[in-house]
Amino acid sequence: MVERTLASREVFAGRLLRVRVDEVELDGGKTASREIVEHPGAVAVLAFTAQRELVLVKQYRKAAERLTVEIPAGTLGAGEEPRACALRELKEETGFVAGTLDSVCSFYTAVGFCTEVLHLFVAEGLQAGEQACEEDEDIEIMTVPVPAAMDMVRDGSIVDSKTVAGVFWAELFVAGNPRALQLRQGRAA
């Protein structure tokens, strides 16, 4: 069940994304076209305050044409390691500096058409500081208890996929679920 690339052509190259169309051969000899969005990858951070509340950011997202509530996140720079990016994005978007930063997992955001891999981290021991948002960002910071964040997922206030996944993981983590703690510590089978 492997698709062999016969030809590939770039159809768009932007500042952040590239789009290509691959002609592939399927098992059995048939051919098909695949439209692929190339993305450099990203990070997202579940940042917990000392009161065990999640740090969230509220910002307008043009693609969704609405204000969204999300966990802090951002795109990897060229050659940037995910851990360094997570620390940078947390500081830029929220002003917080993490005392500890642990990797949770990495996953494709839209495996059917996009190469973006998102690296999810947990940050604790937060020290407050000044936001350093990029010029085109207008970000409001909020903190909410994890059960309230779950309610926001249920009522449609949180619709961003990385945040939905992160909030579900936080629900396990805050509840002290041993499996989630093993995942956090990289020991799960």
Q: Could you tell me the residue ranges of all domains in the chain?
A: 4-38, 42-184
175 versus 118: the higher-pLDDT residue is 118
Segment 35-53 mean pLDDT: 96
Other C-beta atoms within 10 Å of 44: how many?
25
Q: Looking at the domain 42-184, which fold is it? A: Nucleoside Triphosphate Pyrophosphohydrolase (3.90.79)
> What per-residue confidence (pLDDT) applies to 1?
82
48 versus 1: the higher-pLDDT residue is 48
- For residue 131, what are its two tokens? 């936001």
> What per-residue confidence (pLDDT) applies to 100?
95
124 is catalytic: no
133 — pLDDT class (breaks 50, 70, 90): confident
172 — pLDDT class (breaks 50, 70, 90): confident
> What per-residue confidence (pLDDT) applies to 188?
43
Whether 99 contacts 126, CB under 8 Å = yes
Can you tell me the distance from the alpha carbon of 52 to that of 60, in angstroms, rounded to the nearest whole number? 26
Question: Which one from 116, 137, 140, 171 is the annotated catalytic residue?
Answer: 137
Whether 164 contacts 86, CB under 8 Å = no
Phi, psi dihedrals of residue 93, rounded to the nearest 5°:
-80, -30
Q: Cα separations (Å) of 86 from 9, 80, 96, 129?
A: 32, 10, 11, 16
Which residues, at least 6 apart from 174, have a Cβ–Cβ distance to it below 8 Å? 48, 52, 146
Q: Is 36's pLDDT higher than 90?
A: yes
Can you tell me the distance from the alpha carbon of 97 to that of 94, in angstroms, rounded to the nearest whole number? 9
